[in-house]
Structure 1
Amino acid sequence: MGVRAQQKEKTRRALVDAAFNQLSAERSFSSLSLREVAREAGIAPTSFYRHFKDMDELGLTMVDEGGLTLRQLMRKGRQRAASGGSVIRNSVETFMEVLDSNPNVFRILLHERSGTTPAFRAAVAREIGHFIAELAHYIEQQAERPKDIAWAQAEALVTLVFHSGAEALDMKAAQRKPIKERLVLQLRMVAKGAEALSPKH
């Protein structure tokens, strides 16, 4: 990669980071302005258009990146479980750590799930679909579930995690403990139900 291409990638990254940094409980992506994002990234507003066609393209990039980052972190939770401990508890602990260390990665998916444009809603639905597909494959392989049951279990797990994440997002870590324990219990109940419905080997 040449110097100019590296600089362009660095500026594009700065714009994405600037937009993520401005999200909060009070501010969704739709409330951000191009000028604010450019100022936070340290570039002239006119330079924005060298990297993104408009704010919607920036937002869709953030949704894709948020989904990918969250999936990578949840994979790490499952890997932690492989070296000992409960997959469910390790995954929930990892998810709560994400809410502490990188809340806006989850916030963009949560806010834009009911976003103002069909493109945003479709992008978030696609990312949630990726979560479900990856988790269903893991359940099918590790728990030897039939494909349809693995998918139904994964879909239920992702729905519960998103619901609990929305509730816990803006709480302090200490306040999240009851939500975390309830989520672990709910996920275990779903897993037991899936096990009961699976044909015995």
Structure 2
Amino acid sequence: MSRQLQKLRTRRSIIDAAFSLLDDQRSLSSISLREVAREAGIAPTSFYRHFKDIDELGLTLVDEAGLALRQLMRQARLRIASGGGVINTSVDTFMEFISDNSNVFRLLLREHTGTSLAFRAAVLREIQHFNVELTDYTMATTGLSPKVANLQAEAMVKLVFSAGAEGLDASVEQKKILAGRLKLQLRFIANGALRTTVD
């Protein structure tokens, strides 16, 4: 295996190790470099070949979490294109995502209001990317003005994040009830946006 490939694999294992240490009890600020190195199966000194410090790793995790969310949105669009309803498909895809990637979503939720200004700004950037993609998609599929489409996207993203927070530790049955409620609430927003004019 080439040196470059080995380096990429080690970097990936550090990122995966850090994600695996995050749970409902632990945030980025509470995990140590030594713990991450141990979980990744590397010496603590090897960590510095890949990241300047634990904060740089934290920012990388936020970027990865944001990328995962955007990929989720694209996956939902593919499902919609093959015949699924927009809101039903999007909510079902999102609920699958938080079930399969709870630590990824938990990171975004926690750091959005965390103590680190750098992490808060990074999460805000990721949410903004999400808003922009949803705004563009809404304009393309509904003909809404940029302003109304953006307001709709913002409202939907806030609602989905809130439902995601509620659903993280919910049972399968509770998630089903939550998803049904979320679909109705998103329809309220979408129908209201179609009837709204903004000066």
Q: Which runs of 4+ in 1 moved over 2 A?
A: none
Post-superposition CA distance 1:65-95 (Å, at most 9, x none):
1011111012211221122131001000000
RMSD of equivalent CA atoms = 1.3
Q: Distance in 2 between the 1:41 and 1:197 partners? A: 52
Amino acid at match of 1:116: T
Q: How many percent identity over aligned positions?
A: 59
Amino acid at match of 2:176: K
1:41-190 alignment to 2 at 5 Å?
Answer: 41-190=40-189
Q: Distance in 2 between the 1:198 and 1:20 partners? A: 43
Amino acid at match of 2:139: E
- The 3-state SS of whatever aligns with 2:24 is coil
Post-superposition CA distance 1:79-120 (Å, at most 9, x none):
211221310010000000001111112111111001211100
Post-superposition CA distance 1:107-134 (Å, at most 9, x none):
1111100121110000000000000000
Post-superposition CA distance 1:4-27 (Å, at most 9, x none):
111111111000000001111111
Aligned counterpart, 1:195: 194
Amino acid at match of 1:132: N
Shift of 1:198: 5.1
1:16-27 alignment to 2 at 5 Å?
Answer: 16-27=15-26
Shift of 1:57: 0.4
Q: Distance in 2 between the 1:198 and 1:72 partners? A: 31
Q: Which range is displaced more, 137-146 or 26-35?
A: 26-35
Contact 1:100–1:173 at 8 Å: present in 2 too?
A: no
1:2-21 alignment to 2 at 5 Å?
Answer: 3-21=2-20
* 1:198–1:87 distance in 2 versus 1, CA, 3 Å: farther
Q: Distance in 2 between the 1:136 and 1:198 partners? A: 16
Q: With structure 2 as the length reference, what TM-score do the two structures score?
A: 0.96
Q: Distance in 1 between the 2:180 and 2:159 partners? A: 13
Shift of 1:172: 2.3
Amino acid at match of 1:28: S
Contact 1:145–1:198 at 8 Å: present in 2 too?
A: no
Q: Distance in 2 between the 1:120 and 1:17 partners? A: 18
Contact 1:132–1:151 at 8 Å: present in 2 too?
A: yes
Q: Which runs of 5+ in 2 are unaligned?
A: none
Q: Distance in 2 between the 1:198 and 1:11 partners? A: 52
Q: Distance in 2 between the 1:163 and 1:77 partners? A: 19
Q: Distance in 1 between the 2:50 and 2:170 partners? A: 35
